[in-house]
Amino acid sequence: MSYISVGERIAIFGGVYNNHLSLAALKQDASGRGATTMICLGDMGGFGPSPDKVFPLLQNDPNMFVMQGNYDHSIGNRLEDCACGYTDPRDNHFAQISYDYTAANTSDHFKDWLRDLPTEFRFEFAGKKVLCAHGSPRKVNEFLWESNSSDIFLDWVLDQFECDLLFVTHTGIPWLRHLPSKDRWVVNVGAIGRPANNGEKHVDYMLLSTDSQGKPHVEHIALHYDYEALAHEMREEGLPEEFVETVLTGWWTTCLEILPAKERAKGVY
Amino acid sequence: MQDLQDYPTLNFQHLDTLWLQVTGTLCNLACLHCFISCGPKNDNHPMMSLSLIKDTLKAAATQGTREYYFTGGEPFLHPEIKEIISLTLAQGPLTILTNAILIDDEMASWLAKTFEDSPYSFDLRVSLDGTTPEENDTIRGRGTFVQIIAAIERLVGHGLNPVITVTTCHAELAADEGRQKFIELLKAHNITQPRLKFLMPFKIGRESRRKGGEGCYTPAERLYLEDVPDPNSDHLQCDSCRMVTAHGVWPCPILIEEEGARMSDALEDSLHPIKLNYSACYTCHVGGVSCKT
Ligand code: SF4
Ligand code: SF4
Ligand SMILES: [Fe+2]
């Protein structure tokens, strides 16, 4: 188990998807809010431009803890695809474009780094046990969507993995759930690499701190960054216009089949 | 008698998905490819009573169940379907597999409101087996294409977006071109976010008798130990689901008419390893089939 020691304000984020511009913005924004620890829940590649640009922002920082997502596992181990398991041929087509692009443009030493990353973090915070995982604590590529994760199930997960606060990513859409039975929380931090299919151009992360009574407090932060510059870079790199559209509009255009009915109904496509 | 030694074992991980055969084997249709021979007169598995459903939901809650699926038969034949839906949705996300024909305007409107009001996902999966009456009706029965399309229009009219489930009896339906035809059909009926699921047919139940028995599994179509050497393999749905009917608990929605597949009376007594000793298991393994959406 990877126990880490953390500060009093912690920025927790995931789903970088090659977006080095939002990652740089996140570091600035979180520091500005007094965060002294940053935790990245993985999925560095996919979707955006120039994969190698994100690694200098993540490495060699004693206050930055980075874990491996499914994408990082695939890229690090030089696998053929991202193992996202889409069945729709159109989704597969676009997923493969970003995967092949990311694999071809990630340097070998960064691939090795991705391969060797830890897969979970644990720490104590305000007397509570915190667990960070990529998809879910039991499976790296399990999707915890807000609308298809019952309280009953989440309580079971927290019991199984002995924690009071659980942070995950992997779906790209943020949510927070308070579980009243034992006063616990499950938080999906969303993604900083791509907007959350809500028509907004910003991306999302979470800030963990304590409230006036010394209890853990999780704040959802809308992170603004230069998305037009990102769209420009994506076009320069010849990435599909469908991806650029998402950056410019805040609506997902591909890989929609995995969305549960509720999340799907909120989008345009 | 089969020698069970020769078949792979699959461990049970956790009850992620609970299936409820709410109307048993009773259906308003009698499709030729139905893998459980459902029909208006088949009460092999009768309807589940409201009190049995309540008890089952309670048992599922103590297991930390994530999500629920209703199937049949035709779930909308159940006289108390609204109450059953509400009770289940209070506990977790729900998907209903239906042929949709019985969903009238009043029901469609109630379903849409229920979808809006529920914090958990509430999904309908409507079966349609072709993009033309000729294609669909040879399998699902005369006149059903028009009825199903009308029902889809009612649902869409009230703001719902069902997943259209296609059984690939005509193999070409799953190919790109067949898929495109379905997308176009749905677009023509105002569905701007097409949601499709293609399912391989299981060659049991009525499907096995279609085409004069040609549709049966051959003795070679079975699983051997070496097919699933790891009992913790996670590629089969039955490591994390169970099916409850009025007659007890089964490992999955597929096997409820297979002799010997019944596991127990109570849900909590069925959460243990199973033998993959049915021909249908071959389809799940080879085709990567999951009944979930
Ligand atoms: S396939 Fe579905 S609709 Fe057709 S008879 Fe079987 S249960 Fe009824
Ligand atoms: S038919 Fe499929 S789901 Fe059912 S027990 Fe066999 S492998 Fe599992
Ligand atoms: Fe992921």
* B25 touches B72 (CB < 8 A): yes
Q: What does the pLDDT average to over B214-242?
A: 91
**Per-domain residue ranges of chain A:** 10-194+204-226
Q: What is the number of other CB atoms lying within 10 angstroms of the CB of residue B189?
A: 12
B239 Cβ under 8 Å from any chain A Cβ = no
On average, the pLDDT of chain A sits at 96
Please give the CATH superfamily to which domain B15-216+240-272 belongs: Aldolase class I (3.20.20.70)
* Cα–Cα dist B84/B67, whole Å: 14
Count the helices and strands in chain B (H runs, E runs).
Answer: 7, 10
**Ligand 1 neighbourhood includes B127 CB (under 6 angstroms):** yes
The Cα of B135 is separated from the nearest Cα of chain A by a number of Å equal to 22
Q: What does the pLDDT average to over B150-161?
A: 96
Q: Which is it for strands A203-210 and A64-66: parallel, antiparallel or unpaired?
A: unpaired
**Per-domain residue ranges of chain B:** 15-216+240-272
Contacts of residue A144 in chain B, CB cutoff 8 Å? none
ipTM: 0.93
pLDDT digits (tens, 9 = 90+) for A10-41: 999 999 999 999 999 999 999 999 999 999 99
B179 Cβ under 8 Å from any chain A Cβ = yes
B176 Cβ under 8 Å from any chain A Cβ = yes
Name the residue facing B93 among A150, A157, A265 (closest C-beta): A150
pLDDT digits (tens, 9 = 90+) for A170-215: 999 999 999 999 999 999 999 999 999 999 999 999 999 999 999 9
pLDDT digits (tens, 9 = 90+) for A233-255: 999 999 999 999 999 999 999 98
| pTM listed for this prediction | 0.95
* Cα–Cα dist B235/A145, whole Å: 21
Q: Extract the tokens encoding B186.
A: 């749905």
* A119 touches A170 (CB < 8 A): no
Q: Ligand 1, closest atom to CA B28?
A: 8
* Cα–Cα dist B281/B252, whole Å: 10
The closest residue, in CA terms, to atom 7 on ligand 2 is: B281
pLDDT at B212: 66
The answer to whether the Cβ–Cβ distance between B93 and A148 falls below 8 Å is: yes
Peptide bond into A14 cis (omega under 30): no
pLDDT exceeds 80 at position A1: no
The answer to whether the Cβ–Cβ distance between A153 and B64 falls below 8 Å is: yes
The Å distance, Cα A178 to ligand 3 centre, comes to 23
Could you tell me the strand order of the sheet in which B67-71 lies?
B196-199, B163-167, B122-127, B94-98, B67-71, B17-21, B241-245, B248-250
Assigned CATH for A10-194+204-226: 3.60.21.10
pLDDT exceeds 70 at position B2: no
pLDDT digits (tens, 9 = 90+) for B237-285: 999 999 999 999 999 999 999 989 999 999 999 999 999 999 999 999 9
* Cα–Cα dist A135/B99, whole Å: 34
pLDDT at B1: 47
* Cα–Cα dist A249/B186, whole Å: 25
pLDDT digits (tens, 9 = 90+) for B12-44: 999 999 999 999 999 999 999 998 899 999 999
The Å distance, Cα B292 to ligand 3 centre, comes to 21
The Å distance, Cα A207 to ligand 2 centre, comes to 44
pLDDT at B60: 98
pLDDT digits (tens, 9 = 90+) for B180-219: 899 999 999 988 888 999 888 888 888 888 766 667 898 8
